Amino acid sequence: MLNLYPAQIESVSLHRVGNKNKNEAIFLSAEPHTLNDEMAGLLKEYFFRPFREKEENYFKFSNEVDVEFNEVYKAVVEIFEDPSKAHATSKKITTHLYEQSNHPHIKSGEVYIVFFSDMVIDNKKTEAVGIFKSELKHDFLQFEERNQNLDILIRQGINTNKLDKGCLVFNQDKEEGYKVLSVDSNRYDAKYWLENFLGLEPLTDENFYTKNYLKFCQNFAKDVVLPAEDKQQEVLFMNRAVNHFAKNDAFEESSFLNEVMENPELIPEFKHYKVEKGPKYSIEDVSNFDIANKAVSDARKKIKNVINLDTNIQIKMDFINPESAEKFVEKGWDEERQMYYYLVYFNKEQKS
């Protein structure tokens, strides 16, 4: 769990990179930027907003040979070891970014290298290095009094409600490549930021496995359970799967299958589907892992538990109490109307 509110900006360096392919220049500031309290508060909100709104999908620095050959990793190590070198090191990071900015689609922009204190991750205080880039410029209006008239002036600037690119590197798990979060609002150049510049790969921790296994189950429900049975059973299967994850601290696949797979004939189908589709979710060889509660909560919010009927009626199942859907909802076929039906039992209507 990440808590960004206590974080303090200890230093910030501002630079600008152009598109190297178009012979645009790089500008490196001679000194770090001096912030007042108002600007520090505005920048913190600008930097942190997308990380609060996004799932916590962690990455780590990597390299084909060894992580120590990753340029950004080396620079971040320098900053954590001696924060007084943050500005000098920020120039190395920005120059490395400029070297990767050689595709015609890549936009020029401002680069912010920030050293933070008092970050809280998994209830532990730590330091962090933030690397951010603003690219897209927006028109805005300013007004100026001239003599007896009020004039409109058109200016260009960045929208502080939307960060274009950013990453937070936490001073944890150095030997494994640190814990890193990354955001990229502009998907036209995804490899440029995540792979070419940062050199990141997913961190395969309990959050990663919990999230990916549930995504895999969701696709199994859609591709196998739905065609074999019906929409109600697809929804109920995911209800049982999510609730199994919610009530256990550790995942064990055979126990999971015995509990959630009401139709035993689907167990071989599940195992075959895992061989076929498992590599897409990096779970092909995974059958035991610790469960991340936050990943379960996030998955529960995203999984649809609604049956949409072609008669413009929706039936919403309860994820918390799936047994209600099994005990009080029945599906049948009406010979006279030549239509399927759902029969719903209840004692009284609840007030909304």
For the chain, the structural domain boundaries read 2-203, 207-344
Average pLDDT over residues 53-73: 90
Q: What is residue 272's predicted lDDT score, i.e. its pLDDT?
A: 94
Give residue 117's Cα distance to chain centre.
23
Write down the H helix ranges in 261-302.
266-277, 293-302
pLDDT at 293: 87
Residue 319 has pLDDT above 60, yes or no: no
Tell me: the pLDDT tens digits for 165-216? 999 999 999 999 999 999 998 776 768 999 999 999 998 889 899 999 999 9
- Distance of alpha carbon 178 from alpha carbon 74, whole angstroms: 11
Give the mean pLDDT of 128-150: 91
| Whether the predicted pLDDT of 139 surpasses 60 | yes
Q: Please tell me the predicted confidence (pLDDT) of residue 326.
A: 66
Question: Which residues partner with 222 through β-bridges?
Answer: none
- pLDDT (tens digit, 9 = 90+) per residue, 108-125? 999 999 999 999 998 899
> 223, 226, 204, 224: which is closest to 281 by C-alpha?
204
pLDDT at site 165 = 94
Instruction: State residue 303's pLDDT score.
Output: 73
Average pLDDT over residues 60-83: 94
Mean pLDDT of all residues in 335-344: 84
- Give pLDDT, residue 314: 81
Instruction: Please tell me what DSSP assigns to residue 69.
Output: G
User: What contacts 123, CB < 8 A, 6 or more positions away?
Assistant: 1
| pLDDT score of 222 more than 80 | yes
**In percent, how much of the chain has pLDDT > 90?**
60
- Strands 200-202 and 250-252 come out as unpaired
CB burial class (10 A; 0-12, 13-18, 19+) of residue 50?
buried
Task: Answer yes or no: are the C-beta atoms of 274 and 266 closer than 8 Å.
Answer: no
Per-residue model confidence (pLDDT) at position 301: 78
Q: Is the per-residue pLDDT at 322 higher than 80?
A: no
Tell me what the pLDDT averaged over the chain comes to: 89
Q: What pTM was estimated for this model as a whole? A: 0.78
- Asked whether the predicted pLDDT for residue 327 surpasses 80, the reply is no
- pLDDT surpassing 80 at residue 288: yes
User: What average pLDDT score do residues 67-81 get?
Assistant: 96
Give residue-wise pLDDT tens across range 89-98. Answer: 999 999 999 9
Instruction: Name the token pair of 142.
Output: 């300013």
Instruction: Kindly tell me the burial class for residue 238, based on how many C-beta atoms sit within 10 Å of its own C-beta (0-12, 13-18, 19 or more).
Output: buried
**pLDDT exceeds cutoff 90 at 1:** no
Report the pLDDT averaged over residues 229-251: 88
Residues 273 and 145: their CA atoms lie apart, in Å, by 69
Here the tokens at position 152 are 């409109």
Is the distance from CB of 210 to CB of 295 less than 8 angstroms?
Answer: yes
pLDDT at 320 over 80: no
| Mean pLDDT to the nearest integer, 277-301 | 89
Q: What is the pLDDT of residues 246-286, one digit of tens each?
A: 999 999 999 999 999 988 889 999 999 999 999 999 999 99
pLDDT of the residue at 318: 64
pLDDT of residue 340: 83
